[in-house]
Amino acid sequence: MPYLEIYLNMFFERPVVKGGRRLEFQETVSELERQAVSMNATQGGAGRRGRFTAGSWPEYTRIGLLFPASAYVDAVEWLKALLHNAEFPPERVKISAQKLLDSIPTQLREGSKVCELLSRRQRLPLPHVEHAVSPLQQREILQATIADPERAAEKLKALNACLTSSESIRVHCVTDVLSYPSEINLRAPWSMHFGTPPAGGLTPPPFPGPSPWSEKCTPSVVGLDTTDSGFLRRTIPMACKYTDPDAAALMVATQLYTGTEGPFWREIRGAGLAYGYAIQQRWSDSSQGFILFKSGHVRSAFERALAIIREGASRFTENDFVGARAACVFDAIEDVSSVHDAARDAFYGLLRDQPPEWTRELISRYQKVTSEDVARVTEQYINPLFDPKVSGTLAITCNTKKVPEVEKAFTDFNVKAAELQDALRPQEAAPKM
């Protein structure tokens, strides 16, 4: 795990053997830029926000390639080359590590980024992928990599062998099969480069399920001299799955409270309490959170949000419900608006264990959400976000001079001031080279 960030950073920038010819890393980069529409290598797939963090499924490494339909055969060959016929030259490993190391100070100056890292540090027990790819862990790994790139290159080879073994890897390919001439065998490139699947077929890798919560979710505030704004993340467990009956009502309720021209927009952003806000459901690990972004008055914004939530569904008109349902339907359709989007959604659907026709079912459920449903899910799921008696995380970053003020304002949550280095460092030592 410690070398995941380097691995992902240099995945498309390595020498490869393709078509019987060795391509230097410059050729790999130029040829992929010429042929591919897009490409990405992420840890956790959806929800990954930049470097040194993981997305919604942190246990999975996702490689995405989008090629024109006319380059179908070449796309399969590229995938084979990148997964199985790529090299990790020590000099390229060192350069990649240096680039990542140089970016860490910037990461640790951003209030929103530090707040997110702090929240996940509180939430997740050791060992966990999130800790392995966090900036402070990575700084030690990157420094050791620069000092001994040959040893790091061997570690990266071992990591690649683990990730690309037949037991670990699954390929999800979507294309318009009707656009190809009937004489073209679309299976042939896969058999040529990856062999034939076992007689019993392949099953999806087991989904590990939600990560357990750390036994030490200590609410804390970290001061930064590099920001004048406050950032807050409150996260709690959520006993609702993506396919549960309450999920549609919960998403409509979230849209009602946080949508454009909604009460959060008018009474939090409009009042100058915070520039941004969100109520988020993280279905992949059965948690949900409340977020404040660029707030000059963190506690005031928190209290205003609480007051809005306590008022509940009674403040909304039928027109509000029509707009919220429509917004949710639009988001569901937009998620599958292109072949590429539909392919990605289908892949994530496998991880969510949702039925193939789930989008249609979800749209149907949105249309049936009532004010009574919103009132129920508000009380059951959203209200607890603001209750200090409910176990969860609370991470706040603000200007260093405001730390005592924030610590005092959140005494009901037992928020304690913490130094950046101590707050983000896992309780165990970083993995050794």
- Give residue 80's identity as a one-letter amino acid code: K
Half-sphere exposure in the Cβ direction for 283 (13 Å, CA): 16
Whole-angstrom Cα Rg for the chain: 24
Q: Which amino acid is at 258?
A: T
* Closest alpha carbon to 282 in 44, 20, 16: 44
Distance of CA 267 to the CA centre of its chain: 29
Count CA atoms closer than 13 A to 5's CA, side-chain side. Answer: 31
Model pLDDT, residue 308: 97
CB neighbour list of residue 317: distance below 8 Å, 6 or more residues apart: none
**Measured between alpha carbons, how far is 117 from 105 in angstroms, rounded to an integer?**
14
Rama region for 219: left / alpha / beta (φ>0; ψ in -120 to 50; rest): beta
Query: Which stretches in the chain have pLDDT values below 50?
Result: 426-433
User: What single letter denotes the amino acid at residue 237?
Assistant: P
pLDDT for 233 equals 97
* Pairwise CA distance, residues 82 & 223, whole Å: 42
Looking at residue 77, its pLDDT comes to 96
Q: Specify the pLDDT at position 424.
A: 62
Predicted pLDDT of residue 205: 62
Alpha-carbon distance 160 to 246, whole Å? 40
**Structural domains of the chain, with CATH:** 4-194 (3.30.830.10), 220-414 (3.30.830.10)
pLDDT of residue 204: 64
